[in-house]
Amino acid sequence: MPQQRYLCGLIQNMHTIKLKVDTIVRETPDAVAIYFRDEKGEIAHFWPGQFLTLVMQLDGKSARRSYSICTSPTVLPMIGICVKRVAGGLVSNYLVDKLQEGDVLEVLEPYGSFTLNYKMAQLPTLVLIGAGSGITPLMSIIKSVIDKPEAPKVHLFYGNRNEQSIIFKEQLEKLIDKYPGKLEVTHLLSQPSSSYAGMKGRIEAGIIQALCNEKQLFADVSANYYICGPDGMMHAVLGLLDSQGIPADRVHKESFFLAHKAEPVAEAPAAGGGDGTHQIKIKLDGQVHDLTVKPGKYILETALEHGLDLPYACTMGVCGMCRAVKVQGEMLIEEQEAISESEIEEGACLTCVSKPLSNDLVIDYDAR
């Protein structure tokens, strides 16, 4: 039996869960699926489409990285993720190359709003559009509905470079065979082998429009669209759905990374003629904390430096874990992908990409 290794960060107070690596499956040369056993049963439930955040210490650095869950909640206490290597990346390369069965990882509880409520009475038609590792949350959604007799057919449009880079290829084929008529997968390969007989190309607006027209999906007023993949692909598909008049509440997206950060935003003006620092309040676990935020500093960054035990993962406005509520005052929220304009208007904010603009700013974590 392999010796247990503990690859855990030391997190004061924050609730973390230890998961034992049960099985590692090499999906492609650059991606592994990692299946954990939740031995203490600490994860009672999650929604298909949510992610786990790994809390690790590697090369003397603490690191948090989020990975979407690829399994259905029905197979708990087993729970899986899939990691694709990012060139030069600290955590993904470790997980793809060095993690071993029997290791124990520390994670934060499942989180995320890219979800399907599969317990609803009437499941919608599902149109899933993904590329590369973007298949991972879509796989959890597929597995969660495919055995439900009342669920309509699931359409998956899945982009990859070539036959060898298709993550979950075998699992998808098995699901198609096991549940005839329930899942239709259209692969799009940008650089396939010469013997490949399927569709060639990338996921872009024209191809997806043609496929949706062919399958009469735009006319289905129940159809819900779930999109996950690289920035360019997501923007193309979101633009298409918008141009087709698909209402925003039927369109769901998950970003893994923000390739293009906005141009540097002008620094917040100094309040009351001061030096640009702001005095703000943070409500957390029933207590109010007074913080001094220096010019150019983000609220989350400052709060962590002050020792506050706040939830976070990506620190770049993608995962949504640092979401809180602005009770009063003014703040600048820089480019982010995790909350909508209407949510911001209702008071939601992401502290990892936000800076104070006034001294009366109050942020409430308990109301989130």
Q: Annotate 302-368 with DSSP letters as a single string.
A: HHHHTT-----S-SSSSS-TTEEEEEES-EEE-S-SSS-HHHHHTTEEEGGGEEE-STT-EEESTT-
What interhelical angle do 169-178 and 135-145 show, nearest 10? 20
Q: Is 312 in the site for ligand FES (CB under 6 A)?
A: yes
Q: Which does 317 bind (CB under 5 to 8 A by kind): ligand FAD, ligand FES, none?
A: ligand FES
Q: For the CB of residue 112, give the shortest distance to ligand FES in the complex, in Å.
A: 10
Which range of residues in 101-109, 112-120, 219-227, 317-325 is near ligand FES by CB under 6 A?
Answer: 317-325
Binding mask 240-269 for ligand FAD (x = CB under 6 A): ----------------xx------------
Which residues are CB-contacts of 262 (< 8 A; sequence separation ≥ 6)?
334, 335
Are 309 and 322 a contacting pair, CB within 8 Å? no
Q: Which is nearer to ligand FES, 226 or 312 (CB)?
A: 312
Cis preceding linkage at 73, omega within 30: no
Which range of residues in 18-26, 246-254, 276-284, 310-318 is near ligand FES by CB under 6 A?
Answer: 310-318
Q: Is 352 in the site for ligand FES (CB under 6 A)?
A: yes
Query: In the range 77-116, which residues lie near ligand FAD by CB under 6 A?
Result: 82-84, 86, 88-93, 112
Q: Which is nearer to ligand FES, 237 or 319 (CB)?
A: 319
Q: Which does 350 bind (CB under 5 to 8 A by kind): ligand FAD, ligand FES, none?
A: ligand FES
Q: Which does 115 bind (CB under 5 to 8 A by kind): ligand FES, ligand FAD, none?
A: none
Q: Which does 363 bind (CB under 5 to 8 A by kind): ligand FAD, ligand FES, none?
A: none
Are 224 and 126 a contacting pair, CB within 8 Å? yes
Are 154 and 222 a contacting pair, CB within 8 Å? no
In single-letter form, the type of residue at position 322 comes to C
Among residues 314, 324, 349, 363, the one that binds ligand FES under rule CB under 6 A: 314
